Structure 1
């Protein structure tokens, strides 16, 4: 593993020091490798997501990043980046890096407005994809992004909040509602997966994040959404919310059986679908 000091000519060392040690280790290794190559056209490197929102959870959160390019990457440069990410993952299996490499004029754009770009997620480097090309990504980056290279002043695009809310409402109907209904069938893959704590956390907190946004006109972390719901929803919803938060914290389950937990999760998810629908309509009325 390279010495962390070798990354500092390329990355903002002062900002690095503020990060969780695990995140700092991953980013420092990445920066050292990119700095060693020395010819990659990366003008800006930003963190967003849970790290930028102060909700990083060791063992659960990823390192979400956006790298801004001076020019499009060549195939050879993509190969170098793929090797760099592979090296970093071998040195730091957790947290996992997930991010995109885009031109400045691609920031803030939607899939129908731009061509696919290089990205790294799930342990794979892809030369052309549209991973995380959505208004939530661009809003988080612009409002809360951490600049480790470059300046936040370069994030001079605009995000239409009304359009973001409209797309979130579409997401509830096109993704979450089918996901919940499919998860209610015990003989399907999703139905069986909901017996696992990780799937419960994914569904319960993921849908609750949308509810938070509709209600508060803001974006928060999964954990933040869970705490928000605990403070505002009836006590009958609390056990499954607490369970989802405990999984994120690496704490053991409080449920006596997986079937009981699954039943509570399904009840909560169906109620949250209705709550999101109502909250989305109210949000549209306030605009």
Structure 2
């Protein structure tokens, strides 16, 4: 299986950096992983400070994996025992074929506690502090209000599959988290969308592309899908945020 082969190569290459733990989150841990479609979302806790030399070694590790199937979908954020508690800290991350820094969000932290998959070393509960419900809810509301709502106003984004998919699925996941206090998979979020009033044509389109056999879209459908998505998503986000802000 290409996924297992890539993870084995990654863990072998990471071993000289003495990781304390390596965890999977997202679909790879949550049971909704689609090989060749889903990302491989990882967190590694390294036993020592992330120095400029460490960053160079991480870049070299990922460069050596580029020939492997699915390597472009492997994303990993690197923490240390001394930085793992700081939810606002930006950590070195490999994603989209480059190194940069980003935080480990409360959603990711809660995922790791709820169903994180241990690939190496210590389990998340031994290293990560728990995520209070209020912290999780606050992040979800801010993400909808400050990221997704402004994005709805940028029409060109919504002609891309990834924006349509993530925009609607993230809204459904946010709704369930705020309503029930739990995290759900993208497949579960897709099932929630009809009850939330999402346009049926778009929901079916997402289902075909994620779980079926997609057809090449026409320009007419791409434009119509963008309009349907934006017309629905803007008011839906406003309603959700107003209910919990």
Q: TM-score, normalised by structure 2?
A: 0.87
Aligned to 2:182: 218
Shift of 1:23: 2.2
- Report the CA distance shift for 1:73/1:197 in structure 2 as closer, same or farther (over 3 A): closer
1:147-199 per-position Cα deviation (integer Å, ceiling 9, x unaligned)? 1111214235121111210121122211111111x23xxxxxxx123123333
Give the superposed CA RMSD: 2.4
Aligned to 2:97: 123
The whole-number CA distance in structure 2 between the counterparts of 1:67 and 1:140 is 15
The whole-number CA distance in structure 1 between the counterparts of 2:137 and 2:60 is 38
Which one of 55, 67, 81 corresponds to residue 90 of structure 1?
67
Q: Does 1:177 align with 2:149?
A: yes
Larger Rg: 1
- Report the CA distance shift for 1:215/1:71 in structure 2 as closer, same or farther (over 3 A): same
Larger relative contact order (CA 8 Å, sep ≥ 6): 2
Which one of 18, 29, 34 corresponds to residue 52 of structure 1?
29
Secondary structure, in 3 states, of the residue corresponding to 2:92? strand
- Report the CA distance shift for 1:253/1:225 in structure 2 as closer, same or farther (over 3 A): farther
Shift of 1:46: 0.7
Shift of 1:107: 2.4
The whole-number CA distance in structure 1 between the counterparts of 2:107 and 2:185 is 12
Q: Is the 8 A contact 1:215 1:279 kept in 2?
A: no
1:105-133 per-position Cα deviation (integer Å, ceiling 9, x unaligned)? 4224222xx4x43221111124xx2x142
Aligned to 2:222: 258
Say how many residue pairs are matched: 242
- Report the CA distance shift for 1:246/1:272 in structure 2 as closer, same or farther (over 3 A): farther
Secondary structure, in 3 states, of the residue corresponding to 1:158? coil
Shift of 1:279: 5.2
Q: Does 1:205 align with 2:173?
A: no
Q: Does 1:194 align with 2:158?
A: yes
Shift of 1:275: 4.1
The whole-number CA distance in structure 2 between the counterparts of 1:110 and 1:102 is 11
Q: TM-score, normalised by structure 1?
A: 0.75
Q: Which runs of 5+ in 1 are unaligned?
A: 1-20, 184-190, 282-287
The whole-number CA distance in structure 2 between the counterparts of 1:279 and 1:155 is 34
